[in-house]
Amino acid sequence: MIEKLDNNEHILLMYMADELPPEDRLEVDQMLAVDANLRDELRLLEETDGTLRQELARMDAASPESSEGAAVRRVSREIRRRVVRSAAPSEAHVASERRRSLWWVYPTAAAAVIILAAAVWMPRRATPPVVPFRNMPTPEFAGWYAMSRLYQESWDEPDEYDNAPSAPDDAVAMTDGPKETGMPVDPLNQLLLSADAN
């Protein structure tokens, strides 16, 4: 260990504090035996160290025991208070634990609502509007009714049918419906109107 110390002063301090390994201590003993300056330096350090310890002990003994004891007791009480308080679960902690244990309730409820809503809404969206019975086309127009269903399904693509013929020419002739309005003609409505007219 001596080789790690920078100088003789450091070695002497470690020697004085009895913190050197036995083999290093033996080596220092040999150095002290032959070096008078080193011995003087060690003696001065030991005297100063001894005086300091003595005076510090006297100073500590002179300081009022009651104030130090009181300070230590105050800390003891505070530690006891904190330890006891931390050992008892707080109401907030209990509530939070309860909430933590039921964490799955809200997500499950939300998922159930979403699924229910989807189950109700989706079929409505897929089902075409029901035509009142009285407006149902007569058998004579069943074929055209089927055709009109195809047109109805393509309503979302106005561009394709903007200029499409409003209905087959025979249908128009039978219904005597509007011929030239300048607007896109709804084939189903035309058939229904013609059914009503009949």
Partner 1 sequence: MAVQVAHESGTPAVNDNDEAMIQRLRDGDAAAGEALVKRYGQPLLRYLQRVAGEQVAEELHQQTWLSVLDHIEKFDSASSGGGFKAWLFRIATNKANDFWRSRGREKIARDGLRLVTEEEAPAAGHRLEGSEQEEKLRRSIAQLPENQRQVLMLRYYSDLKFVEIARILGCPLNTALGRAHKALLKLRELMGE
Residue 47 or 140 having the CB closest to partner 1 = 47
Q: Give the span between the Cα atoms of 74 and 80, in whole angstroms.
A: 10
Based on the shown chain and the rule CB under 8 A, indicate whether residue 40 belongs to the binding site for partner 1.
Answer: no
Q: Where are the alpha helices (DSSP H) in the chain?
A: 8-16, 22-34, 36-62, 65-87, 91-101, 105-126, 142-153, 158-161, 169-175, 187-197
Choices 8-16, 27-35, 97-105, 112-120 (CB under 8 A): range interacting with partner 1: 8-16
* Residue of 21, 29, 30, 44 interacting with partner 1 (CB under 8 A): 44
Q: Give the span between the Cα atoms of 85 and 9, in whole angstroms.
A: 51
Based on the shown chain and the rule CB under 8 A, indicate whether residue 56 belongs to the binding site for partner 1.
Answer: yes
* Residue of 3, 36, 37, 87 interacting with partner 1 (CB under 8 A): 87
Q: Number of C-alpha atoms within 13 angstroms, CB side, residue 27?
A: 12
Residues found near partner 1 in the complex (CB under 8 A): 4-6, 9-10, 13-14, 17, 19, 44-45, 47-49, 51-53, 55-56, 58-60, 62-63, 68, 71-76, 78-80, 82-84, 86-87
